[in-house]
Amino acid sequence: MLKLFRGLGSRWLHGLMGLAMVMSLVACGGGGSAGSPVLGGGGNGGTTTPAPKISLSLSSDTVALASPATVTAVFKDATGNAIAGQVVTFTTTGGLGVFSAATALTDATGTASVTLSPKDSTSTGADTVTASVTYSNATYSASAGFKLTATTVTIASVTSDITALGAYAQTSINVTLAGTSSATPVKVTIASQCVTSGRATLVPADVTTTTGSASFTYRDNGCGAYQKEDNLQIAVVGTTQLASLKFSLSSPAVASISFISSSPQSIYLRGSGYVENSDVKFQVKDASGQGVPEQLVVLEPTTLAGGLLIEGGSAPVTKKTDSKGEVTVRINSGTVPTPVRVKATLKDSAIATVSSSLSIAVGLPSQLRFSVAPVAFNIEGYDFDGTPNNYIVIASDRLGNPVPDGTAINFVTEAGQIEALKFTALAGGIAKATAATASNGQRPVDGRVTMVAYALGEESFIDRNGNNIYDKAGENGATQDEDFQDLGDIFLDRLYNGKFDVEKDQFLSLSLGGNKECKEGNDSVLKMIKDPVTGRQLEIYPSRPGSCDQAWGRAYVRQAVQTVWSRSTANPMWGTKNHPNAAAATAADCPAAATRLYDYDTNGQPLNAVLYPVSGTQLYSMPGQSTIAFYVSDSNGVAFNPVAAGSIVSVSATDGMSASVAAGSPIPSTTAPSVVVVNYKFDNVNSGVITVKVQSPLGVVSAHGISVTTVAKPDGHVSCTP
């Protein structure tokens, strides 16, 4: 029992001693200016975590209105590392000071700063500034004292060299203070309506002085054009001291009027559906080139042709310049395309100018001014899918001016794939649109593919009286209806013969036509160009018969073009007549003639030709040195087509003779087979074979032999030429 009691007593005694030690520590060590909290606890021998520290400093312990102090607090952990992003609160004990901000955030260095100023100019005595921060549920603070100096300064006088300023003149302003002290600097400022608006300058912006004197330079920047005087307010910062000084100002004299811009520079005829108005801007300037406001300017166009309007009317308008000296007038187009200028005159003076030319264009594409052409007329598209080509449309209005950017051009094609819609854009000042196409799908047996491009525009007409308006008899002095092109439904002319074939051709009803017969126009200018020999139309803008309205107006302008999808292999031909020296043992041994389509007559009927192939021909009685010419056509079995543009023709010869291509290679862009000329020469033999090779752009090679000899045709041989 005693042994057990002793054991318990020993533990109790040790516990009592430990408690006494803890109480002693609390009594001796708690608190501290940083308010460091005790962390941990429990167990045997708890630990105390070192607390963060905040320090405080002032740039000066003397604070005055003209010389405030910067208060800087730095917050760091126990190891000296900055604690960023903490809010520091600044206060004064006696309320004698004010801060630029009541709180500030510590930066990457743990620093937060504010500016401390006296509450007012009469504040004197001393006060304490405290900076505090709450961090991890504990508050840390630091304090410092400062004293204040009252400001008893008054404004004794304000003078200027001159008080009546001419335009752009400058003067000195001198401020004299009373009651200043070398130990207490004060700040003097001047407020000016002209300076605030940027129409005058004041240098410097403010002056801090201990001598009782402050000097400024005031310069007018044309403020007199806006107000007759400038009332300056002089103040001593932090006091109620105020004084005023008044300048009378002179408006700058107008020296010139300048044209600034026309926006946009081109507009289009009234009713065209495009932009029909432009803002023309001028600026009235003084001798220094500055804008002069509040000036009256008379504006008038140089022409009123076609009902052109200025500000909605036809009479000159008078407008007042704005704060920049600028004046803007609106021009609305009439019905006549014309260049127009606007004259601007300063009211009741001889100062004037005119704008640069503003262009008024028609805008709508005109049928006679709408054209399309492929980059290549003959591509290797019959035997290969994906062979590319481009079609380029150039669209102009009735006077040949570019149509507006963004004019929509539509494309349809007989075969292959083509971009459906493209928009014009100016390229080197020319309105163009380019559509990409590629071969694919079913091929026309003749290898000829028709494409039609079209756009919303107007029918072309002959403007006999020069007013740029279509006139019927009795209108504007016209004695008869002006001649025009009548356009109806567009159709895809698959045979490209200018004739609508209800069984073959597809038409596009675009709801602008009618149900009357289409008239081409009597004047030759309005007629489609025809081949003078065959009478075939060389350009086609197809209209389906019975779909016109026989009245001039808007229509879908259009142009058809045909390209050749050439076969990859060549089949050169002598033409419609065989070579005169061609012969064979029998007629049956002559290379077989071929019938090919080559054109259409005036009635749209096909024209075929009998052609004679080059391959396998034997030429007798040929000179020892000469040339041979032939057509490089492709192997299409229906039409007489060229090989693809860019194909290369080369020749070689058997031993004892030489041969070379003299002309015609590479093959040009064309819809008809082109001619190749070959030079040959016998060296030490009298017979040989010339081999003609044609390599397509995609690498397909075809070879054709021509036997040549100086020997006469053997007895019994027959001529292969009919």
- Contacts with 8 (C-beta within 8 Å, 6 or more apart), sequence order: none
Mean per-residue pLDDT, 702-707: 97
Answer yes or no: is pLDDT of 21 > 50.
no
State in words which class domain 573-719 has: mainly beta
Fold entry, domain 367-565: Immunoglobulin-like (2.60.40)
Reduced to 3 states (helix: H, G, I; strand: E, B; else coil), residue 409 is: strand
Regarding pTM above 0.85, the answer is: no
Mean of pLDDT over the chain? 88
Other C-beta atoms lying within 10 Å of the C-beta of residue 599: 17
Indicate the pLDDT class of residue 19, thresholds 50, 70 and 90. very low
Other C-beta atoms lying within 10 Å of the C-beta of residue 531: 11
* Cβ atoms of residues 696 and 644 within 8 Å: yes
Among 197, 345, 371, 339, which residue's Cα sits nearest to residue 265? Answer: 339
The pLDDT value given to residue 18: 39
Mean per-residue pLDDT, 614-623: 96
- Contacts with 15 (C-beta within 8 Å, 6 or more apart), sequence order: none
Task: Let me know if the fold of 367-565 is the same as that of 573-719.
Answer: yes
Answer yes or no: is pLDDT of 508 > 90.
no
In this structure, the strands spanning 254-263 and 309-310 are unpaired
Extract the runs of DSSP E, i.e. beta strands, from 368-505: 370-374, 378-379, 388-395, 408-413, 417-418, 421-423, 425-427, 430-438, 448-458, 490-492
Q: Give residue for tokens 């001796």.
A: 28
Indicate the pLDDT class of residue 33, thresholds 50, 70 and 90. very low
CATH of 53-148, one of 3.50.50.60, 2.60.40.10, 3.40.50.720, 3.20.20.10: 2.60.40.10
Reduced to 3 states (helix: H, G, I; strand: E, B; else coil), residue 59 is: coil
Structure-derived torsion over alpha carbons of residues 345, 348, 349, 354, reported in degrees to the nearest 10: 10
Any idea what DSSP says for residue 369?
G
Other C-beta atoms lying within 10 Å of the C-beta of residue 67: 18
Residue-wise pLDDT for 356-384, tens only, equals 888 888 889 999 999 999 999 999 999 99
Residue-wise pLDDT for 650-679, tens only, equals 999 999 999 999 999 999 999 999 999 999
Answer yes or no: is pLDDT of 20 > 60.
no
Q: How many residues does the chain have?
A: 722
Indicate the pLDDT class of residue 23, thresholds 50, 70 and 90. very low
Mean per-residue pLDDT, 228-251: 90
The pLDDT value given to residue 163: 87
* Cβ atoms of residues 102 and 88 within 8 Å: no
The pLDDT value given to residue 43: 43
The terminus-to-terminus CA distance of the chain in angstroms comes to 153
Mean per-residue pLDDT, 711-721: 93
Sheet holding 573-575, edge to edge: 594-600, 606-613, 573-575, 625-632, 674-682, 657-663
Residue 166 corresponds to which amino acid?
Answer: G
Reported as type and span, the H/E element at residue 215 is strand 213-220
> What phi and psi, each to the nearest 5 degrees, are found at residue 20?
-65, -35
- Contacts with 705 (C-beta within 8 Å, 6 or more apart), sequence order: 615, 616, 689, 690, 691, 692
In this structure, the strands spanning 138-148 and 62-63 are parallel
Mean per-residue pLDDT, 636-656: 97
Answer yes or no: is pLDDT of 26 > 70.
no
Answer yes or no: is pLDDT of 3 > 80.
no
Fold entry, domain 254-361: Immunoglobulin-like (2.60.40)
Please tell me the chain's helix, strand, coil percentages from 3-state DSSP, rounded to the nearest 5. 5, 45, 50
Is 154-249 a CATH 2.60.40.10 domain? yes
- What is the spatial distance between Cα 497 and Cα 536, in angstroms, rounded to a whole number? 7
Answer yes or no: is pLDDT of 117 > 70.
yes
| Domain ranges across the chain | 53-148, 154-249, 254-361, 367-565, 573-719
Please report the DSSP string for 645-707 in residue order.
TT-EEEEEE-TTEEEEEEE--S--S-SSPEEEEEEEEESS-SEEEEEEEEE-TTS-EEEEEEE
